[in-house]
Amino acid sequence: MVNLRSETYSEGSRVPVMTHGTPLDDAMRRDLTLNALFYNINEQKVEDFTGKGIDDLRNKIARTPLPPLQTFLDDPLRILRTIRFAVKYNLQMENEIKEAAANPEVRAALVQKVTNERRAKELN
């Protein structure tokens, strides 16, 4: 049984309220389009509900399914995940990602919403 999710975030927390969702809902909540690819075992094929994941994989691009500012404000830990993936897999980050990561509101959210321990764990 596949558990597809949809998420909504409250302003003060990076912990989402989860509900059942569609494959598109689940894909769009992912950190990066690369992480939003699904493998359909019945049809034995990769499904790309964002429409960008396969090309991003081929072209080694780190891109968020939703606008980066929204993605990072919802869960600022995603900034560190994006950097980790980009470094580990030699991905080129979109300029919008760099701009969103430098946004003062996002930087403040990273400090306010994510514990020091969780930030350190993501960087190891």
Specify whether the backbone of 60 is left (phi greater than 0), alpha (psi in -120 to 50) or beta: left
Domain span at 59 = 5-123
Which pLDDT belongs to residue 44?
96
Q: Is the pTM of this model over 0.75?
A: yes
> pLDDT value at position 16?
58
How would you write the pLDDT of the chain (124 residues) with one tens digit per residue? 456 655 565 566 556 556 567 888 889 889 999 999 999 999 999 999 999 999 999 999 999 999 999 999 988 999 999 999 999 999 999 999 999 999 999 999 999 888 899 888 888 7
User: How many domains are there within the chain?
Assistant: 1
Strand intervals (E) in the chain: 5-8, 17-20, 37-40, 45-48, 61-62, 92-93
Report pLDDT for 1. Answer: 43
pLDDT of residue 15: 61
